[in-house]
Amino acid sequence: MSQPQTAITPRRAEDFPEWYQQVVRAADLAENSDVRGCMVIKPWGYGIWENMQRVLDGMFKATGHKNAYFPLFIPLSYLAKEAEHVEGFAKECAVVTHHRLEGDGQGGLRPAPGAKLTEPLVVRPTSETIIGATYAKWVQSYRDLPILINQWANVVRWEMRPRVFLRTAEFLWQEGHTAHETESEARAETEQMLRVYETFARDYLAIPVFVGEKSEAERFPGAVQTLCIEAMVQDRKAIQAGTSHFLGQNFAKASGIEFLSRNNTREHAWTTSWGVSTRLIGTLIMAHGDDDGIILPPRVAPAHVVIMPVIPKPEARVAVMEAVEKLAAALRAQSFAGEPIRVEVDARDIGGGAKSWEWVKKGVPVRVEIGPRDLEKGSVAVARRDRGVKEKEFLATDVFVSGAGAMLESIQQVLLERATALRDAHTVEINSREEFYAFFTPKNAERPEVHGGFALVHWNGSREVEEKIKEDLKVTIRCIPHVEGSGPGICPFTGEPSTRRVVFAKSY
């Protein structure tokens, strides 16, 4: 059967991982640098990140947090303080050992042997330890609590198999770090930030997520409880898109965050940490892209509308460009989601077909063409990225302008509905071990290359069961849902009682 030609080769159904790499390249989002595992985030990709940052930053501030900045480097001895934490991170860190370079006598450079650091420094893989040491100095009394701080930063975790956005040695993220007087306050904070992430994913990224708790095996090293949001992407795998950790008093004890309580006793603070990263961009691509490239949810798209002048003859240029600038100004005066509509004018002197395909691949929500004939009719040719590439609507210019905000809102909704339909279609309650193994064994699924999706299954809480399943199928518990889920039942792997169904899936 012949397939219609698509902008991205291979198509999703042919080779999803390779499709992903090609979409990143075709949309000009990012590329690998010459430094192993470190990416260059190009302007179109960084524009998405800036929008994510702006929205999240507003949500953090609305919940009482302020931003601050802590050192990039962590003394080696700090990492060794929290035993579980060090076990979880120590293996994959960039280590600074020298503070000066010198000529190597052959025109090159080398670390100066005389400038070896007494104590090596680790480039932060996450900042609990260095921030904990700082909070220990800030907190004397219960009056100094809570501390509600967020940091926007780069972090480094050496990765053996990097994949742009999803798993890179250096990535950008935010990390919230809070310290509280009581356990219940800290638990409430952990839950609150999880809900912020859930809301952000649904309302801005158009991605419905499962929210819940990680099993002990998947928990953040050193945390008492790790809450997470888990997204399903189009190959039906899960992506952990954000986490919120209740750290109990573990890090406070390791760092010495102590305070004089209301009862005049010395207590350790209760801390939390929570973060999302540039991984969200990878999640977006895999959640919404099609065989022609990325499809950007309007609320985080760097541009909402691209206007492409059509100039068949040089003498038409002035009139067309005038109309283009007038339209751009009119659109910018409209608002969408509380902000002015973001408009790009692409007046490059290249073929209209190639130009239009570039913007399809970049996923801009709305493409508009104006040529001399449109001017005569007072109309514009409009294409929505959530519809077929050839599907154009001819709209009276004023109708288009006044309805542009609503059109963007409609695209946002369509993307959320599609992602929800995908997730619901491939989230299945499973009650037997055989059914479970079949679900996650590709040859048993209707498409040979794709496994089943998310399985909601009873589980007796045993780590051995979890490990066996991971070994057999590369399937893990993504989360123990907070709300979705079920009443009690029987664990199909052991026959033992279970309090609720958990979400099993393959994951990135």
Applying CB under 8 A, which residues contact its own copies? 31, 33-35, 38-43, 46-47, 49-50, 66-80, 86, 90-103, 107-111, 120-123, 130, 133-134, 137, 149, 153-154, 156, 158, 170, 172
DSSP of 11-57: -TTT-HHHHHHHHHHHTT-EEE-SSTTPEEE-HHHHHHHHHHHHHHH
Q: Which is nearer to its own copies, 30 or 231 (CB)?
A: 30
DSSP of 362-395: HT-SEEEEE-HHHHHHTEEEEEETTS-TT--EEE
Q: Which is nearer to its own copies, 119 or 446 (CB)?
A: 119
Pair 221, 88: CB distance under 8 Å: yes
Q: Which is nearer to its own copies, 70 or 437 (CB)?
A: 70
DSSP of 432-476: SHHHHHHHTSGGGSSSTT----EEEEE----HHHHHHHHHHHS-E
CA distance 283 to 123: 26
Q: Which is nearer to its own copies, 128 or 290 (CB)?
A: 128
Tokens found for residue 223? 């945390």
| Strand partners of residue 212 | 228, 481
Q: How far is the CB of 70 from its own copies (least distance, A)?
A: 5
Distances in Å between the Cα of 493 and the Cα atoms of 140, 427, 439, 499 are: 50, 19, 15, 14
Q: How far is the CB of 355 from its own copies (least distance, A)?
A: 13
Q: How far is the CB of 501 from its own copies (least distance, A)?
A: 38
User: Is residue 146 reached through a cis peptide bond, with omega within 30 degrees of 0 on the bond before it?
Assistant: yes
Q: Which is nearer to its own copies, 80 or 318 (CB)?
A: 80
Kindly give the interhelix angle for 279-288 and 16-26, rounded to the nearest 10 degrees.
110
Q: How far is the CB of 52 from its own copies (least distance, A)?
A: 13
DSSP of 231-290: EE-TTS-EEEEEEEEE-TTHHHHHHT-EEE-TTS-EEE-EEEEEEEETHHHHHHHHHH-B
Q: How far is the CB of 64 from its own copies (least distance, A)?
A: 12
**DSSP for residue 109:** E
Q: How far is the CB of 76 from its own copies (least distance, A)?
A: 5
Q: Dihedral sign for Cα 275, 277, 281, 286, please.
A: negative
Q: Which is nearer to its own copies, 60 or 454 (CB)?
A: 60
Q: How far is the CB of 175 from its own copies (least distance, A)?
A: 14
Q: How far is the CB of 164 from its own copies (least distance, A)?
A: 12
CA distance 233 to 288: 8
Q: Which is nearer to its own copies, 152 or 437 (CB)?
A: 152
Q: Which is nearer to its own copies, 335 or 441 (CB)?
A: 335
Q: How far is the CB of 309 from its own copies (least distance, A)?
A: 17
Q: How far is the CB of 242 from its own copies (least distance, A)?
A: 20
Q: How far is the CB of 288 from its own copies (least distance, A)?
A: 22
CA distance 289 to 279: 15
Q: Which is nearer to its own copies, 185 or 484 (CB)?
A: 185
Q: Which is nearer to its own copies, 73 or 357 (CB)?
A: 73
Tokens 């501390």 correspond to 147
Q: How far is the CB of 198 from its own copies (least distance, A)?
A: 26
Of residues 278, 292, 164, 284, the one with CA closest to residue 233? 284
Q: How far is the CB of 299 from its own copies (least distance, A)?
A: 19
Length of the chain: 508
Tokens found for residue 141? 């009394």
CA distance 29 to 32: 11
| Strand partners of residue 180 | 270
Q: Which is nearer to its own copies, 99 or 474 (CB)?
A: 99
Q: Which is nearer to its own copies, 153 or 457 (CB)?
A: 153
User: Is residue 314 reached through a cis peptide bond, with omega within 30 degrees of 0 on the bond before it?
Assistant: no
Tokens 């294409």 correspond to 383
Q: Which is nearer to its own copies, 98 or 418 (CB)?
A: 98
